[in-house]
């Protein structure tokens, strides 16, 4: 198929922790990298003519192309078995990942301990209980075990987190590390109604967001240090790299879950057509309420009275083809009006198939 080699599955045991040895094929996209490889809000979008495009986790500069076509990569809707936040698997068991800049990689000769049983947003779990985490640079890390957690017993598998049958909340940040955040879960998980890539919503309207933060450098007085531009000064490790930690936030909300009518990976819409966004660090709505999707009318019309019809990990598309994205900081942007029909996205929810009044 287009000269690509199929995913090879073997029953050999993988390393306990560490990078798997992979043969990786990168597909060409012509754009410059602006910004660091942070966030897991990049996306795939599949079109009815077989073309595949990508968005980045951040919004490009004004003079750059906003949606990138992946050269020499063609899949019809029926060719895709699973499509998630930063990877997809074809019916021929080919595995592709995407990094935060929108680059796509085919993982050739990928060795698994057993068949994939569960598909999360930025990870997948095999039948033998091994978890494979897709980092935000497209590289995969394999864990045979996670401390004392039983990786074959689940209640919720979704996004960048999962909940075990023992009611343990385990989060997975975009650098490939996991953390036990069970102490942050103070509600009954039976009440979860809506799940996204980096959030879940309870029947009561309480929203839990799951994010990744940079560990900040402190000054002599123990306060967080900032640059002249107001950015946090990161605490570097011995090799000069930034350090990260996982976050879970509980947000009280006046919106009951039945008022949530559409959802994507890092955003959702309520019945009043308000958009709610979740940043990569777990912040909700940029501290604002009642955010209508109003844009510069020079680039698109007012969208505050209609809902999208296609929903991806960090993008959504209206009936007339107008496409928007939500970046890793929780801001939304107009991308373009598509000239092709979307056949498949990398996010799915039963919620998005329900009829809504005034659709």
Residue 134 — φ and ψ, nearest 5°? -95, 110
Phi-psi region for residue 305, left (φ > 0), alpha (ψ -120 to 50) or beta? alpha
In the numeric block, which tokens belong to residue 91? 């019916």
Q: Is the pLDDT of residue 36 over 70?
A: no
Q: How does strand 17-19 pair with strand 140-143?
A: antiparallel
Q: Measured between alpha carbons, how far is 195 from 203 in angstroms, rounded to an integer? A: 12
Q: How confident is the model at residue 287 (pLDDT cuts 50, 70, 90)?
A: low
Length of the chain: 359
Q: Is the pLDDT of residue 95 over 50?
A: yes
Q: How confident is the model at residue 224 (pLDDT cuts 50, 70, 90)?
A: confident
> What per-residue confidence (pLDDT) applies to 319?
95
Q: Is the pLDDT of residue 359 over 60?
A: no
CA dihedral (213, 219, 224, 225) positive or negative = negative
Q: What is the pTM of this model?
A: 0.85
Q: Is the pLDDT of residue 10 over 60?
A: no
> What per-residue confidence (pLDDT) applies to 23?
42
Q: Is the pLDDT of residue 90 over 90?
A: yes
Q: How confident is the model at residue 152 (pLDDT cuts 50, 70, 90)?
A: low
In the numeric block, which tokens belong to residue 263? 């959802």
Q: Measured between alpha carbons, how far is 72 from 58 in angstroms, rounded to an integer? A: 24
List pLDDT tens digits, range 49-85.
999 999 999 988 777 778 989 988 999 999 999 999 9
Q: For residues 76 and 350, which has the higher predicted lDDT (pLDDT)? A: 76
Least confident of 38-42, 133-137, 171-175, 179-183: 38-42
Cβ atoms of 42 and 314 closer than 8 Å: yes
**CB-based burial, 232-256: b 16+ in 10 Å, e otherwise:** eebeeeeeeeeebebbbbebebebe
Residue 179 — φ and ψ, nearest 5°? -150, 145
Q: For residues 83 and 108, which has the higher predicted lDDT (pLDDT)? A: 83
CA distance from start to end of the chain: 40
In the numeric block, which tokens belong to residue 31? 């754009």
Indicate the burial class of 290 (C-beta count within 10 angstroms; 0-12, 13-18, 19 or more): exposed
- 73 contacts: CB under 8 Å, gap ≥ 6: 2, 27, 51, 52, 96, 104
In the numeric block, which tokens belong to residue 309? 């019809």
Cβ atoms of 243 and 237 closer than 8 Å: yes
Q: How confident is the model at residue 146 (pLDDT cuts 50, 70, 90)?
A: confident
Q: For residues 174 and 96, which has the higher predicted lDDT (pLDDT)? A: 96
Report the SS3 class of residue 285.
helix
> What per-residue confidence (pLDDT) applies to 266?
96
> What per-residue confidence (pLDDT) applies to 34?
41
Q: Is the pLDDT of residue 3 over 70?
A: no
Q: Measured between alpha carbons, how far is 201 from 159 in angstroms, rounded to an integer? A: 13
Cβ atoms of 73 and 85 closer than 8 Å: no
> What per-residue confidence (pLDDT) applies to 29?
41
> What per-residue confidence (pLDDT) applies to 13?
28
Q: What is the CA radius of gyration of the chain?
A: 20
List pLDDT tens digits, range 188-221.
888 899 999 999 999 989 999 999 888 888 888 8
List pLDDT tens digits, range 226-282.
888 777 888 888 888 888 888 999 998 777 888 899 999 999 999 989 999 999 999
User: Partners of 195 in the beta sheet?
Assistant: 200
Q: For residues 333 and 129, which has the higher predicted lDDT (pLDDT)? A: 333
Q: Measured between alpha carbons, how far is 288 from 140 in angstroms, rounded to an integer? A: 36
> What per-residue confidence (pLDDT) applies to 161?
94
**Over residues 325-338, mean pLDDT:** 92
Q: Measured between alpha carbons, how far is 129 from 328 in angstroms, rounded to an integer? A: 30
Cβ atoms of 242 and 212 closer than 8 Å: no
> What per-residue confidence (pLDDT) applies to 264?
96
User: Partners of 52 in the beta sheet?
Assistant: 46
Cβ atoms of 84 and 122 closer than 8 Å: yes
């Amino acid at each position: 198929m287009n000269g690509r080699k199929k995913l090879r599955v073997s029953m050999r045991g993988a390393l306990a922790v560490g990078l798997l040895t992979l043969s990786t094929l990168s597909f060409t996209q012509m754009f410059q990298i602006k910004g660091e490889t942070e966030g897991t809000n990049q996306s795939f979008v599949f079109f009815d003519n077989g073309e595949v495009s990508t968005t980045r986790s951040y919004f490009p500069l004004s003079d750059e192309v906003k949606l990138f076509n992946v050269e020499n990569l063609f899949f019809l809707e029926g060719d895709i078995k699973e499509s998630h936040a930063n990877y997809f698997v074809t019916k021929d068991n080919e595995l592709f990942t995407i990094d935060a800049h929108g680059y796509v990689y085919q993982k050739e000769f990928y060795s698994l301990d057993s068949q994939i049983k569960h598909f999360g947003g930025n990870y997948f779990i095999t039948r033998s209980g091994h978890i494979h985490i897709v980092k935000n640079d497209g590289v995969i890390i394999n864990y045979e075990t996670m401390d004392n957690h039983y990786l074959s017993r689940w209640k919720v598998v979704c996004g960048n987190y999962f909940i075990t049958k023992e009611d343990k909340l385990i989060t997975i940040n975009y650098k490939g590390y996991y953390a036990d955040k069970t102490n942050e879960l103070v509600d009954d998980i039976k009440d979860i109604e809506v799940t996204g890539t980096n959030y879940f919503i309870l029947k009561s309207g309480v929203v839990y967001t799951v994010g990744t933060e940079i560990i900040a450098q402190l000054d002599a007085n123990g306060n967080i240090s900032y640059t002249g531009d107001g950015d946090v000064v990161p605490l570097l490790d011995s090799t000069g790299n930034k350090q990260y930690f996982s976050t879970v936030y509980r947000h009280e909300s006046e919106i009951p879950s039945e008022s949530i009518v559409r959802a994507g990976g890092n955003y959702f819409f309520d019945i009043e057509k308000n958009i709610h966004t979740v940043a990569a660090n777990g912040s909700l709505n940029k501290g604002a309420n009642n955010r209508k999707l109003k844009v510069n009318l020079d680039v698109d019309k007012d969208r505050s009275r209609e809902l999208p019809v296609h929903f991806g990990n960090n993008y959504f598309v209206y009936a007339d083809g107008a496409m928007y994205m939500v970046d890793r900081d929780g801001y939304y942007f107009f991308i373009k009006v598509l000239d092709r029909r979307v056949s498949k996205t990398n996010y799915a929810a039963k919620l998005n198939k329900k009829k809504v009044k005034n659709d």
